[in-house]
Amino acid sequence: MVWASQTGFARQLAGHTAQSLRDGGCRVRLRALDQVDAALLAGTRKALFIASTTGEGDPPDHALAFLGQVMRQAPALPDLQYAVLALGDRSYADYCAFGHRLDDWLRRQGAQPLFDTVEVDNADPAALRHWQQLLAQFGDGSIQADWSTPDYQPWVLQARTRSNPGSVGGPVFQLCLQPADGELPVWQAGDIAEIGPRHAPATVEQWMRAHALDTQATLADGRLLRERLATARLPDTLDGNAPEAIAAALQPLPHREYSIASLPSENHLRLLLRRQSHPDGTPGLASGWLCDHAAIGARIDLRLRSNPNFHPPAGDAPLVLIGNGTGIAGLRAHLRARIDAGARRNWLLFGERNHAHDFHFGEELEQWRRNGWIEHLDAVFSRDGGPHRYVQDALAAQAARLRRWVDDGATVLVCGSLQGMAPAVDAVIAQALGSQCKEQLVMQRRYRRDVY
């Protein structure tokens, strides 16, 4: 069971898959793709791969070693049977590209697919259930309990403030949340908050009226049907109007992921998110719920997901943080962790539109700089007409400093926009350090990204 993961989700699914196979009587070896070599593949009879796609159809960063060292060897694999679960987001042009690239390569080496590649769009639970059903051909053939069912914990929205009033960009909000039971769980800088979104109450009531349903209809457990509908995909058609039958057929809404901007030591969980809008101007599902519809004091369905690929580096070696827009959320958590650890050699490069409106956490960051917790702070604003328009321009202008920091053992973390910023920063790093040095940083886990 092999995984290639950028944010930790593929790794999580690989663990679930391995456990399902073991429960069915199979012996399973679980490996990251960078732990797989040609000899291991040649000696394996059955292999399952769960592969994420990042960037512009790119493999996860840690998978580059496999591409460079194994795929270039082109070993013959006539005895290998395999299957691929490809994770992606259909809104991007290169949907599931790395999973398909891996599948194509295995076929060219003579390996035999057990079944067609299974594509998963944005953690679609139906696709994951299909993958789980296909696993029934292994072991004793039993299908294990569904491990894609949401398991959210109840949190409470304590506060919500607009972070960029007057901005020409989309509204950005800071949210402060607390667990409903009062006990704050543990997480690290770089971890993810998975939010279970809800439809606006007016949306649910409108849908129920359109299908001639009583808006006060109740279920056997005493809950209102509309409460169950709020967290589910609203179907286009119904087979009858019995509340219990409707509820039983509902599929949960897909979760949304947000970088956590705070640490448990701050006694709350803080998010920074931009309200997304559809072409007709209506807000996106999750951002609309969190920014517009959820009242202060409302329940928020939330679960934490560890994101080891973006956890802080060990020790107090130099740290370069690069990001734009709401990507500053994850970077702020890293800076807070560095302050807690007493590590002062931090360099932050951040880009947004206007200094006056879009410098998220700006006063706090400037205070940290004055107090010596940020050694260099390069904030650039594309609409202000400064010498550098984008964060990649500021990085290119400081190429000599980047080389010095890398020579001193720095780790580089990038968080923010997949379109524009991340590939442009990657190109600057390759130009400043050389492609070979950049690849070495990736292999050493000293250059990592959390982009979306």
155-198 confidence digits (pLDDT tens)? 999 999 999 999 999 999 999 999 999 789 999 999 999 899 99
| pLDDT confidence of residue 349 | 98
Nearest Cα residue to 450 out of 185, 192, 86: 192
| pLDDT confidence of residue 127 | 83
Average pLDDT over residues 237-256: 89
In the block, residue with structure tokens 């997304």 = 276
Average pLDDT over residues 438-442: 85
The CA distance from 325 to 369, in Å, is 19
Nearest Cα residue to 325 out of 257, 243, 418: 418
Phi, psi of 182 (to 5 degrees): 85, -10
| pLDDT confidence of residue 97 | 93
Span(s) in the chain for CATH 3.40.50.80: 312-451
Q: Reply yes or no on whether the pLDDT at 140 is more than 70.
A: no
Q: Reply yes or no on whether the pLDDT at 145 is more than 70.
A: no
78 token code pair: 């006539």
How confident is residue 90, by pLDDT bands cut at 50, 70 and 90? confident
| pLDDT confidence of residue 141 | 58
| pLDDT confidence of residue 132 | 81
Q: Reply yes or no on whether the pLDDT at 264 is more than 80.
A: yes
Average pLDDT over residues 417-438: 90
Span(s) in the chain for CATH 3.40.50.360: 2-137
Fold of 153-305: Elongation Factor Tu (Ef-tu); domain 3 (2.40.30)
Q: Reply yes or no on whether the pLDDT at 147 is more than 70.
A: no
Query: Taking the model in full, what pTM does it have?
Result: 0.78
| pLDDT confidence of residue 138 | 81
Q: Reply yes or no on whether the pLDDT at 229 is more than 90.
A: yes
Strands 153-162 and 299-305: antiparallel
Span(s) in the chain for CATH 2.40.30.10: 153-305
What's the residue count for the chain?
A: 452
| pLDDT confidence of residue 142 | 55
| pLDDT confidence of residue 158 | 97
Average pLDDT over residues 330-341: 97
Task: Please name every residue paired with 17 in a beta bridge, in sequence order, or none if there are none.
Answer: none
Work out the mean pLDDT of the chain and round it to a whole number. Answer: 92
In the block, residue with structure tokens 């951002």 = 287
Strands 256-259 and 112-113: unpaired
| pLDDT confidence of residue 298 | 96
Q: Which helix (H) or strand (E) holds 206?
A: helix 201-210
The CA distance from 178 to 157, in Å, is 7
In the block, residue with structure tokens 């500021």 = 394
| pLDDT confidence of residue 14 | 96
Q: Reply yes or no on whether the pLDDT at 380 is more than 90.
A: yes
What is the second-level CATH architecture of the domain 2-137? Answer: 3-Layer(aba) Sandwich (3.40)
Q: Percent of the chain scored above 90 by pLDDT?
A: 72
What is the second-level CATH architecture of the domain 312-451? Answer: 3-Layer(aba) Sandwich (3.40)
How confident is residue 146, by pLDDT bands cut at 50, 70 and 90? low
